Amino acid sequence: MPTCKDFLRELSDYLDSALDPATKKELDKHVEECPNCWVVLDTTQKTVKIYKGCEPQAVPAALEDKLMTALKAKMAEKKCGSS
């Protein structure tokens, strides 16, 4: 039986219907029995539905630069930590 952590790790693929049938069935059972994961799934599905109806917005260049710098720092941190 998958744990909540397993469910969260697979959430993106679950939402994209990209899981193999056996894994999906196990996660479906977990969500039926776990109220916390049910809320996460329900809320995430509703959020995705809302945002799919929105028009894309441009990210200001300064914010994009700041985000990219933070992502590069995080990736470098992970790279150093895995050695």
Angle at the Cα of 13 from the Cα atoms of 52 and 30, rounded to 5 degrees:
110
- Output the pTM of the full model: 0.64
From the centroid of its chain, how far is CA 11? 6
Residue 81 — pLDDT band, cuts 50, 70, 90? Answer: low
pLDDT in tens, 3-52: 999 999 999 999 999 999 999 999 999 999 999 999 999 999 999 988 88
pLDDT of residue 80: 73
pLDDT in tens, 51-72: 888 888 888 999 999 999 999 9
